[in-house]
Structure 1
C-alpha cells in the first residue's frame, strides 16, 4: 500500500454576508455586455485590399464609418452577405463576419451579376 500524499489547499478569507465582491472591469457583467453590444469594426480582406489598390479606389475614413454603421445595421436585421453601392465603388461585404470580401469601381460593377447576397446597401 502506497502512502497518501495529502496537501493543504490555499484558503481565501471568507466573505461576510452583505460584503460586496469586487469584480475586475474585464470580467464584470457590464463590461462583457458592452463589449458584446459594441459594433464590430469592419475588416478588409487581403483580396479586397488588393482590388481597392489595383482599381485606385479611395474610400475616406468618414465613408468607411458610414459603411460600417450600415453593415452593422444590416447584420442586426439578419443580413449575412450584402452588396454595398457607393458613388465610386461597389463592395461585397460579409455582414456576418464584418469583412469586406471584394471591391470594384462603379463602372465595372454596372455589367456584373451579383449572386449569394441577401441584402443591398445603397449609399450616396
Structure 2
C-alpha cells in the first residue's frame, strides 16, 4: 500500500451547443382548419381481395348501403376504432377504419361459424 500514486486530471470545461433564439417555423393552421380536416369524409375503398370475395360469394351491396357503411366506418374511426367488423343482413365485412378499406367479405351464413380476431369495433347494420 505504499507508493500509491494518484494522478489529478484537470477538469475540462463542458462545451454546450450554442442555442439560437430562432425557432423552426411551421405553417400554423387554425382550429377551424383542423376541424375541417378531421371531419373530411374519406371514401371507403375495397381491396382487391375483398372485391374478389364479393364476386365469388355473389354478395351485392347497394349504393345506399355502401354510403351507410362509409358513414358508420367514419364514425367508428372518429371514436378510435382501427379495425372493425361490419355485420349486415347479407354479409359480414372486415374493414380497416384506419385506412378506410374493406379487407375481406363473406356472406352471413359463412360468418356464423367464424371467429373474428384483431378487431376493436363492431358495426351492426339492418
2: CA distance, partners of 1:33 / 1:81: 23
Q: Which consecutive segments of 4 or more residues in structure 1 shift more than 6 A?
A: 29-33
1:59 paired to 2:61: yes
Between 1:87-96 and 1:33-42, the stretch displaced more is 33-42
1:1-124 to 2 correspondences below 5 Å: 34=36, 36-124=38-126
Change (3 A) 1:32 1:102: same
Between the aligned partners of 2:86 and 2:94, the Cα distance in structure 1 is: 6
Tell me the SS of whatever aligns to 2:84.
strand
Q: Deviations over 1:65-94 (max 9, x none)?
A: 000000000000000000000000000000
The higher radius of gyration belongs to: 2
Report the alpha carbon displacement of residue 37 of structure 1 after superposing the two structures with TM. Answer: 2.6
Determine helix, strand or coil for the equivalent of 1:121: strand
Residue 38 of structure 1 and its aligned partner are, at CA, apart by 1.1
Q: What TM-score comes out, normalization by structure 2 length? A: 0.72
For residues 35 and 121 of structure 2, the distance between their equivalents in structure 1, rounded to whole angstroms, comes to 28
C-alpha distance in 2 between matches for 1:88 and 1:94: 20
**Any idea what SS the aligned residue of 1:101 has?**
strand
Q: Unpaired runs of 5+ in structure 1?
A: 1-28
